[in-house]
Structure 1
Amino acid sequence: MNGKSALGALLVVVGGLMVLKFLGISLGWIISLLMPFILIGLGVVGVRNNSKTVGYILIVVGAFMLLPKIAGFVTLIVAIAVILWGISMFSRQKRY
């Protein structure tokens, strides 16, 4: 893809997002979910291309951006583990 094609594709995407925003459809939550993964990916590419300082900074920033988004999932996993632990304590209890 040459420079003019890339610029054209970028303009189409930006224009499409503007039209969706005008229609009341917001994709901000998708962008906010993808941005940490994009930063982590760019950091990995930077580390592989011998730009280690910038690469590790991008990886750390992306990881910190991702933490609040996965906090609900981690809480769910902890809750399931606590429930299973409690059930296992009931099943180990001997009945006389």
Structure 2
Amino acid sequence: MNIQSKKGLVLIAIGAVIALPIIGFSIGWVLKLLFPFILVGLGVVGWRNGNRIFGGLLIGFGGLMVLGKFHTLIMLIIAIALVAYGVSLVKGRRS
């Protein structure tokens, strides 16, 4: 695929994303959910290509955004882990 075809596909995708809300189909919530992961992915690519400062910044910002989006789920996982660890300690002391 040559460079003109790639540019054309990118322009088609951008135009589709702009036009979808106008016709009543919104994918904004999907983009809001995926954006932190896209940042982390771009940061990893930058890190692997030798640009460690830019890659690290993108990974850091994307990671903070992921924490912001999924803080409830992360806290639930931590709570379940603490309860499971507490139960294992209580069972271990009874034996």
- Class of the TM-score when normalised by the shorter of the 2 chains: 0.7 to 0.9
Cα distance in 1, alignment partners of residues 83 and 50 from structure 2: 46
Paired positions, count: 91
Structure 2: stretches of 5+ with no match in the other structure: none
RMSD: 2.4
1:37 is displaced (CA, Å) by: 1.1
**d(CA) in 2 for partners of 1:72 and 1:3?**
43
Select between 25-34 and 77-86 the one with higher mean Cα deviation.
77-86
With normalisation by structure 2, the TM-score equals 0.75
Question: Residues 27-74 of structure 1: CA distance to partner in whole angstroms, max 9, x if unpaired?
Answer: 111111111111111111111111111110111011111111111212
Distance in 2 of aligned mates of 1:81 and 1:48: 33
Answering whether residue 24 of structure 2 is matched by residue 9 of structure 1, we say no
What is the percent sequence identity of the aligned residues?
A: 42
Per the alignment, do residues 28 and 82 of structure 1 end up closer, same or farther by CA in structure 2, a change over 3 Å counting? same
Partner Cα separation in structure 1 for residue 59 and residue 84 of structure 2? 34
* Structure 1: runs of 5 or more not aligned: none
Return the index of the structure with the highest Cα Rg.
Answer: 1
After superposing on structure 2, the runs of 4+ consecutive aligned residues of structure 1 that deviate more than 3 Å are 78-86
Partner of 1:58: 58
The Cα of 1:6 is off from its aligned counterpart by 1.2
Q: What SS does structure 2 have at the residue aligned with 1:50?
A: coil
Q: How far apart, in 2, do the equivalents of 1:84 and 1:46 lie? A: 39
TM-score normalised to structure 1 length: 0.74
- Cα 1:83–1:48 change in 2 (3 A) is closer
User: For 2:83 and 2:25, how far apart are their aligned partners in 1?
Assistant: 39
